[in-house]
Homo-oligomer: A and B are copies of this chain.
Amino acid sequence: MARKIIIIGSGAAGMTAASTARATAKDAEIHVFTEDRHIAYSPCAIPFVIEGKIPDFNSIVMHQPEWYAKERNIHVHVATKVKEVDLDGKKVTLQDGAFHQFDSLVMAVGGNVLLPPVEGTKLPGVYPVRWISDGEAIKAALPKVSSAVVVGAGVIGLEMAIALKHAGKDVTVVEMFNQVIPRIYDADMAKMVQDHCESLGIKFQMGTPLGSINGKEAVEKIVVGGKDIPCQMVIMATGVRPNLELPNMMGLDIGPLGAVRVSPTLQPYRKGRLVKDVHLAGDVVMCESAAVPGPTMSQLGSSALRQGRVAGINAAGGYAIHPGVTSPFISVIGDIQVGGVGMSRGLADYYGLRTVEAHASGLTRARYYPGGKPLHVKVLADVESHRIVGAQIVGGEEVTGRVNWMAAAITKGVTVEEFLAGFENAYCPPTSMVRDVVCEAVEALASKL
């Protein structure tokens, strides 16, 4: 009898798991259950639709359920909540009481926006940036908004601030930490990003947690550090917390970061024992870092895809491994690209890793080639092993490839000395300096070790 695979969740992780399972097991019966009405889209694109760079929300949906049915023989059940999973009976029960047996289960249940414990987060005019429906609601509300507040200065928060500024709004970003992009960026590099946003007219209220959101029937103001900021819209870009509703019900072991602990095959544990025939992928997963021996989460669209692939192969009876991650990321904030990979200094300290850091600045093209844009690189190495453990790159163009390049170095445990000796860079005056700024930064690092 054909293997029956059930997938919970229709984001990048879930839909990739479904497609990969199909490619691995041609005759499997595959069902996807999702509470969402839209599937297979990239939440990372929402700020760019609101900014108007992307024409509409339909554009960011890759495929409709009908496409999956027709092209891949995958049954997608939208607006369908899974109420319960019976691990021993290998059965999922839906909200309406219907149930489905499975041979193999993939849980790509994602996460929820972490709302700060303050008054007013449920008021009309307060929006997370998670689902297409959030994006649609924000876009529909814009005409009546003159002032907006973004809570949280992570990359999504900053992208949203840019989008709202671009739409002509007065924009204030509120961040409880003293820097933008806290945790994954260091203060020195974060300052460049904040300076750029300020140059575009965005205001910042740093180092103070949100006090409250107030209004009678809808948002009228926020209070932060005893100060009122009048506004008609509040965007909650406060991060994503793994959705543990089902994992908790199932008794799966939760790791130290509040995400589900998994094996290299992405199987969960229950009371310390590996669970058979269940795989996890995406924002709900606690995985291993490749930059440091320790747990991490990799809540990125690209990570969801990689994990979905591994979960899908394994769910279909194949074999794939999810090794440690470096979590390279890139964001476009106004006119600059902001990327990073591996450990920030702050993260390294958190893990107890002693690091040295170095910086280099230059251009994205040869000095004399017109149109070159500034490029700033920070690199970090572990003092003991000399391994490169992190990089942060801010530049006007061509940052993504450099981030991936450094991700490769970190993944392979390359030392500063090995990078300098063996990591070559391609050169042509219109696309790079003869010695890349990344190499300059690593050379500066070598002089400190």
Question: What's the Cα separation between A115 and B135 when bound, in Å?
Answer: 63
How far apart are A113's CB and chain B's nearest CB, in angstroms? 20
Question: What's the Cα separation between A367 and B63 when bound, in Å?
Answer: 12
Question: What's the Cα separation between A109 and B405 when bound, in Å?
Answer: 32
Question: What's the Cα separation between A60 and B301 when bound, in Å?
Answer: 42
Which of B328, B370, B399, B436 interacts with A404 by CB under 8 Å?
A: B436
Does A235 sit within 8 A of B, measured CB to CB?
A: no
Does A241 sit within 8 A of B, measured CB to CB?
A: no
Task: Spot the interface stretch: A139-147, A253-261, A416-424.
Answer: A416-424
Task: Spot the interface stretch: A30-38, A317-325, A346-354.
Answer: A317-325
Contacts known (A328-B426, A400-B428, A424-B302); A54 close to B405, Cβ less than 8 A:
no
Contacts of A411 in B (CB 8 A): 422-424
Contacts of A204 in B (CB 8 A): none
Contacts known (A302-B435, A330-B431); A424 close to B401, Cβ less than 8 A:
no
Question: What's the Cα separation between A436 and B435 when bound, in Å?
Answer: 25
Which of B305, B404, B409, B424 interacts with A306 by CB under 8 Å?
A: B424
Asked if B425 and A404 make an inter-chain contact with CB atoms under 8 angstroms apart, the answer reads yes
Asked if A421 and B322 make an inter-chain contact with CB atoms under 8 angstroms apart, the answer reads yes
Asked if B53 and A431 make an inter-chain contact with CB atoms under 8 angstroms apart, the answer reads no
Which of B327, B330, B409 interacts with A432 by CB under 8 Å?
A: B330
Asked if B425 and A42 make an inter-chain contact with CB atoms under 8 angstroms apart, the answer reads no
Contacts of A402 in B (CB 8 A): 401, 404
Q: Which of A383-424 touch B at CB < 8 Å?
A: 397-405, 407-409, 411-412, 414, 421-424
Asked if B303 and A430 make an inter-chain contact with CB atoms under 8 angstroms apart, the answer reads no
Contacts known (A401-B404, A402-B404, A404-B436); A428 close to B330, Cβ less than 8 A:
yes
Which of B44, B398, B424, B430 interacts with A328 by CB under 8 Å?
A: B424
Kindly state the interface size class of chain A when it binds its partner.
Answer: 35 or more
Task: Spot the interface stretch: A2-10, A85-93, A166-174, A331-339.
Answer: A331-339
How far apart are A119's CB and chain B's nearest CB, in angstroms? 34
Contacts of A401 in B (CB 8 A): 398-405
Contacts of A404 in B (CB 8 A): 401-402, 405, 423-426, 436
Does A369 sit within 8 A of B, measured CB to CB?
A: yes
Asked if B426 and A407 make an inter-chain contact with CB atoms under 8 angstroms apart, the answer reads yes
Q: Chain B: which residue is nearest A368 at the CB level?
A: B59
How far apart are A32's CB and chain B's nearest CB, in angstroms? 18
Contacts of A367 in B (CB 8 A): 62
Contacts of A430 in B (CB 8 A): 48, 53, 332
Which of B400, B424, B429 interacts with A407 by CB under 8 Å?
A: B424
Does A329 sit within 8 A of B, measured CB to CB?
A: yes
Contacts of A341 in B (CB 8 A): 426
List 12 other contacts, CB 8 Å, given A53-B430, A337-B428, A400-B426. Answer: A42-B429, A48-B369, A53-B370, A301-B427, A302-B426, A303-B424, A329-B426, A329-B428, A330-B427, A332-B431, A399-B401, A400-B432
Q: Interface on A for B, CB 8 Å cutoff?
A: 12, 42, 44-45, 48, 53-54, 59-60, 62, 290, 300-303, 305-306, 310, 320-332, 337, 339, 341, 366-370, 397-405, 407-409, 411-412, 414, 421-432, 434-436
A sample of 7 cross-chain residue pairs with beta-carbon separation below 8 angstroms, ordered by A number, consists of: A12-B434, A54-B429, A301-B434, A332-B428, A398-B398, A407-B423, A408-B408
